[in-house]
């Protein structure tokens, strides 16, 4: 996605996990969490400076430059992207039911650079709207952390269109920015481990399972779409420290009414980009605290609680406040000497929480992933990951009379192949033991096809 750049090197910062922006404004974060699909056909030329330029086989967007109008609009500070992603995924065995389902997403992204538009210096407005349709396997896989994160939003059970992100970022010189608005927290999850030439949207590319796309230790207090305000300190144009205060209410399909009526959630995040032995690495530490009242059985945006556990206060008393801390890392093991942004390495995501009211006590995930080394497949990406979701003793005890629960773990493998740079086909395979006692291990094959317009 092309983003304007005017007063400072970085205008689009994250809520609490922060991506980076290249000289042309295209996001390129490298960290653990999700692999953006960045592939091209054999013998493709290097990516042109203008992502809309080139013929049908080499450009990054199917509709190209609109006879020069698209790049002219970008030079004036206006960009628009449309991503269409379709999913065919099923439960081959285990889980709750054995079915294959089809669903899809349309993602509309609009950016406005106030400096290039002649309004004021240092401003960037981002809008993300989403259309979700079809059916996902999340209701039948038996997993607490759904096996298909993208189809969980904006609403997991409806065909719906909604604005999930509308954020204004303002530069304060070259060392700091502030931001405010309705913030899509998955968009802002910058801890990814492959530079992006595609959508650069976690879940649309790379891993599908929630535990490997997003660190689920924060799921109790962090909504998918939240009203928030925050600030970040930059180092050499890259995010170093970000602090955000946001409303704990989930607003994927809501407006901004009754702001902070439930309390506040505070998130602080430190990101260090280093190069041990000349290989890129990203190390990330942070924590969350909310003073809102929660129950262990309260629904959470990034988790799927079985309907049998969504009960009243008598079954799951409310607690005031919830906290979590996390540590994520990515370290390259191989870097293409001809292209530093082409690399693969190891990643890990870890976390611990209060365990009450957070149903997840600890998280331990890890694996390898990044850009392919296969000759002629310069931009393909791959990943192999293992996840372990340790549920709290309190949650297990509360759930035992209704639907006994246990720790959840599994593996996921994917390979993302580009038919062209704007048409990407992904094969995905998951094996996971569901959190619900009595459900057999779920075998979850799937396919994903994506068009970037």
Extract the tokens encoding 3. 């983003």
Going by pLDDT thresholds of 50, 70 and 90, the confidence category of residue 353 is very high
Mean pLDDT of the region 252-277: 94
**Euclidean distance between CA atoms 185 and 33, whole angstroms:** 13
Query: Is 156 in contact with 140 (CB distance < 8 Å)?
Result: no
Going by pLDDT thresholds of 50, 70 and 90, the confidence category of residue 5 is very low
Helix (H, G, I), strand (E, B) or coil at 422: coil
Say what the pLDDT of residue 11 is: 40
Extract the tokens encoding 325. 């801390």
pLDDT-wise least confident of 113-122, 371-380, 392-401: 371-380
pLDDT in tens, 29-59: 333 333 223 233 333 334 446 888 889 988 9
Q: Would you give the distance in Å from CA 419 to the centre of its chain?
A: 24
Mean pLDDT of the region 294-309: 95
Say what the pLDDT of residue 41 is: 32
Query: Is 202 in contact with 189 (CB distance < 8 Å)?
Result: yes
**Euclidean distance between CA atoms 286 and 266, whole angstroms:** 11
Place of tokens 């304060």: 172
**Euclidean distance between CA atoms 427 and 243, whole angstroms:** 37
**DSSP structure string for 277-317:** GG--EEEEEEEEEEEEEE-TTS--TT----GGG---TTTS-
**Euclidean distance between CA atoms 369 and 345, whole angstroms:** 6
Q: Classify domain 69-452 by CATH architecture.
A: Beta Barrel (2.40)
Count of residues making up the chain: 453
């Amino acid at each position: 996605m092309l983003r304007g750049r005017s007063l400072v090197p970085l205008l689009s910062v994250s809520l609490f996990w922060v991506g980076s922006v290249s000289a042309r404004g295209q996001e390129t974060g490298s960290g653990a969490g999700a692999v953006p699909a960045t592939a091209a056909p054999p013998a493709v030329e290097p990516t042109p400076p203008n992502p809309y330029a080139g013929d049908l086989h080499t450009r990054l967007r199917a509709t190209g430059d609109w006879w020069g109008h698209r790049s002219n609009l970008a030079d004036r500070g206006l960009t628009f992207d449309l991503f269409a992603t379709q999913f065919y995924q099923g439960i081959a065995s285990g889980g709750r039911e054995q079915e294959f389902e089809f669903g899809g997403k349309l993602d509309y992204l609009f950016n406005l650079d106030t400096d290039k538009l002649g309004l004021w210096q240092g401003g960037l407005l981002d809008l993300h709207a989403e259309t979700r349709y079809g059916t996902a396997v999340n209701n039948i896989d038996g997993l607490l952390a759904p096996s298909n994160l993208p189809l969980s939003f904006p609403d997991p059970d409806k065909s719906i269109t909604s604005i999930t992100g509308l954020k204004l970022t303002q530069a304060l010189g070259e060392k700091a920015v502030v931001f405010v608005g309705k913030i899509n927290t998955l968009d802002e999850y910058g801890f990814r481990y492959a530079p992006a030439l595609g959508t650069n949207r976690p879940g649309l590319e790379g891993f599908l399972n929630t535990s490997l796309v997003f660190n689920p230790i924060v799921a109790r207090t962090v909504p998918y779409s939240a009203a928030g305000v925050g600030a970040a300190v930059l180092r050499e144009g890259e995010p170093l420290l970000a602090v955000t205060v946001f409303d704990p209410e989930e607003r994927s399909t809501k407006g901004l009414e009754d702001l902070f009526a439930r309390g506040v959630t505070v998130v602080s995040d430190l990101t260090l980009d280093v190069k041990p032995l000349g290989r890129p690495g990203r190390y990330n530490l942070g924590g969350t605290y909310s003073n809102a009242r929660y129950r262990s059985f309260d629904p959470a945006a990034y988790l799927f609680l079985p309907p049998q556990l969504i009960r009243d206060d008598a079954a799951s008393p409310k607690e005031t406040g919830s906290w979590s801390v996390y540590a994520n890392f990515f370290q390259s093991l191989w870097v293409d000497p001809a292209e530093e942004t082409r690399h693969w390495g190891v990643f890990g995501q870890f976390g611990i929480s209060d365990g009450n009211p957070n149903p997840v006590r600890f998280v331990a995930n890890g694996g390898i992933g990044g850009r392919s080394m296969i000759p002629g497949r310069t931009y393909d990406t791959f990943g192999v990951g293992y996840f372990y979701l340790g549920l709290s003793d309190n949650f297990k005890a509360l759930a035992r009379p209704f639907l006994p629960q246990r720790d959840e773990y599994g593996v996921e493998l994917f390979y993302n192949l580009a038919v062209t740079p704007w048409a990407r086909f992904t094969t995905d395979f998951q094996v996971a033991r569901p959190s619900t006692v009595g459900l057999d291990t779920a075998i979850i094959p799937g396919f994903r096809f994506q068009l970037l317009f």
